[in-house]
């Protein structure tokens, strides 16, 4: 398991332990250093950048457990092994919790030391390999996303613009029949651009990343912005968007951009699947430690047998009759709500309307994220 540059640091207040370990390691060809206390050890970690650190648990001053915690902060790829004369189950468990990868009880002989060292360095290689694969996966995903957005979206947007120029009569007159066909082609291109946009949004939602970015968030400003944003769509469809939200709501642990996307999606659906002169209501209230947001509409509704599928990727009710939509909106909504440890439910009655209820767990802190 040993490679040319493997570097080992031993942090122990007993000089003879340090010396005897050093002897073994030097003989085996490792680069090795020693420190007799935690503070010196941490300084040497920063200087030497070791791959493996042996840490004595009982030392005067900074304890081994504290050293372990600091090591992870300095470099999470460093593996540490705990050495102690008082090997109890409790101390082993405590050390493992601080991510020590092994335990070496005193006294130990050179073979035992070599065995633990080999195992620990193997572990480090696995950590490095896992990190490398994860980074490569992220890079591939990002490359793919930007490739799709450039290679597919850019030419489509150019085509869309040419259609506008031709339809606007700027390059000569267009007969009614041609206009009709060009208009239909333009609608298809618009759909494709929308599909690519939603698909890119979908690909970008990385649940793990989202969870790491959650901050105390107030939903009121997010919800209040929606009617303005969707004003023209609502007018076009002759649908009223109403608000029924209190002055204050508890904060939730959230990501503003994706939550905004969720509520916009739901209200937009409420408008698009509505009837002439219909309503969409955005309501919010506290319920048993959750902030509950309800988006209800007086629209066409969804039949009971379709309801279980509407959150699936690309699922659309009556896709054959449709020229709009992608079937991705609700799938994005569900993914975002799941990443917020929330819940989404839907009830609907064909011909009467649909209610989407979202529950997000409240938090007590009152820091602003608007």
Q: Report, in Å, the least distance between residue 233 CB and ligand ADP.
A: 12
Handedness of CA 133, 138, 139, 145 (dihedral sign): positive
From candidates 30, 251, 263, 273, binder to ligand ADP by CB under 6 A: 273
Closer by beta carbon to ligand ADP, 79 or else 317: 317
Q: Report, in Å, the least distance between residue 90 CB and ligand ADP.
A: 52
Count, residues near ligand ADP per rule CB under 6 A: 20
Q: Report, in Å, the least distance between residue 329 CB and ligand ADP.
A: 3
Number of residues assigned to the chain: 370
Closer by beta carbon to ligand ADP, 105 or else 350: 350
Q: Report, in Å, the least distance between residue 364 CB and ligand ADP.
A: 33
Q: Report, in Å, the least distance between residue 254 CB and ligand ADP.
A: 21
Closer by beta carbon to ligand ADP, 35 or else 330: 330
From candidates 237, 258, 269, 298, binder to ligand ADP by CB under 6 A: 269
What HEC string does the chain produce?
CCCCCCEEEEECCCHHHHHHHHHHHHHCCCEEEEECCHHHHHHHHHHHCCCEEEEECCCCCCCHHHHHHHHHHHCCCCEEEEEECCCCHHHHHHHHHCCCCEEEECCCCHHHHHHHHHHHHHHHHHHHHHHHHHHHHHHHHHHHHHHHHHHHHHHHHHHHHHHHHHHCCECECCCHHHHHHHHHHHHHHHHHHHHHHHHHHHHHCCHHHHHHCCEEECHHHHHHHHHHHCHHHHHHCCCEEEEECCCCCCEEEECHHHHHHHHHHHHHHHHHCCCCCCEEEEEEEEECCEEEEEEEECCCCCCCCCHHHCCCCCCCCCHHHCCCCCCCHHHHHHHHHHHCCCEEEEEEECCCEEEEEEEEEEECCCCCCC
For the segment 200-219, give every residue that binds ligand ADP (CB under 6 A).
none
Closer by beta carbon to ligand ADP, 39 or else 205: 205
Q: Report, in Å, the least distance between residue 142 CB and ligand ADP.
A: 25
Q: Report, in Å, the least distance between residue 297 CB and ligand ADP.
A: 5
Closer by beta carbon to ligand ADP, 158 or else 187: 187
Q: Report, in Å, the least distance between residue 345 CB and ligand ADP.
A: 13
Q: Report, in Å, the least distance between residue 192 CB and ligand ADP.
A: 13
Closer by beta carbon to ligand ADP, 95 or else 310: 310
Q: Which two tokens stand for residue 229?
A: 């944003």
Angle at 95 between CA 94 and CA 101, to 5 degrees: 140
Site string for ligand ADP, 292-331 (x = CB under 6 A): -----x-xxxx-------x----xxx-------xxxxxxx
Pairing of strands 353-363, 343-349: antiparallel
Residue 46 CA, distance from chain mean position: 31
Closer by beta carbon to ligand ADP, 29 or else 308: 308
Site string for ligand ADP, 339-368 (x = CB under 6 A): ---------------x--------------
Closer by beta carbon to ligand ADP, 261 or else 354: 354
Q: Which two tokens stand for residue 35?
A: 């420190």
> How crowded is residue 51: how many other Cβ atoms within 10 Å of its Cβ?
22
Closer by beta carbon to ligand ADP, 103 or else 315: 315
Closer by beta carbon to ligand ADP, 35 or else 317: 317
**CA separation for the pair 92, 204 (Å, rounded):** 41
Binding of ligand ADP at residue 116 (CB under 6 A)? no
Binding of ligand ADP at residue 270 (CB under 6 A)? yes
Q: Report, in Å, the least distance between residue 261 CB and ligand ADP.
A: 12
Binding site for ligand ADP (CB under 6 A): 269-270, 273, 297, 299-302, 310, 315-317, 325-331, 354
């Amino acid at each position: 398991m040993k490679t040319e540059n493997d570097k080992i640091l031993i942090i122990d207040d007993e000089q003879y332990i340090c010396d005897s370990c050093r002897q073994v390691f030097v003989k085996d060809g490792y680069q090795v250093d020693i420190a007799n206390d935690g503070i010196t050890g941490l300084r040497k970690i920063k200087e030497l950048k070791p791959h493996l650190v042996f840490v004595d648990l009982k030392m005067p001053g900074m304890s081994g457990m504290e050293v372990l915690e600091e090591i992870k902060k300095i470099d999470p790829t460093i593996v540490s092994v705990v050495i102690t004369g008082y090997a109890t189950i409790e101390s082993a468990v405590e050390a493992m919790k601080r991510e020590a990868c092994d335990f070496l009880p005193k006294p130990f002989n050179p073979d035992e030391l070599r065995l633990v060292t080999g195992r620990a360095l193997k572990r480090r290689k696995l950590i490095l390999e896992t990190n490398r694969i994860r980074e490569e996966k992220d890079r591939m995903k990002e490359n793919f996303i930007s490739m799709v957005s450039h290679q597919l979206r850019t030419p489509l947007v150019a085509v869309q613009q040419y259609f506008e120029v031709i339809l606007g009569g700027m390059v000569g007159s267009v007969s009614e029949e041609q206009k009709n066909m060009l208009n239909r082609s333009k609608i298809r291109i618009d759909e494709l651009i929308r599909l690519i946009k939603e698909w890119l949004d979908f690909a970008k939602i990385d649940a793990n990343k989202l969870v790491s970015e959650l901050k105390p968030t107030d939903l009121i400003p997010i919800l209040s912005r929606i009617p303005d944003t969707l004003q023209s769509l609502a007018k076009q469809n002759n649908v009223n968007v109403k608000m029924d939200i209190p002055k204050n709501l508890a904060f939730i642990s959230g990501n503003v951009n994706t939550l905004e996307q969720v509520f916009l999606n739901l209200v937009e659906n409420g408008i698009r699947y509505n009837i002439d002169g219909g309503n969409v209501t955005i309501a919010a209230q506290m319920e048993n430690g959750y902030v509950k947001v309800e988006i209800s509409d007086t629209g066409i509704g969804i039949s009971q047998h379709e309801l279980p599928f509407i959150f699936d990727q690309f699922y659309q009710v009556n896709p054959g009759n449709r020229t709009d939509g992608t079937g991705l909106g609700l799938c994005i909504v569900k993914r975002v709500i799941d990443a917020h440890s929330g819940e989404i439910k839907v009830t609907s009655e064909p011909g009467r309307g649909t209610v989407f209820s979202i529950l997000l767990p409240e938090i007590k802190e009152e820091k602003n994220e608007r």
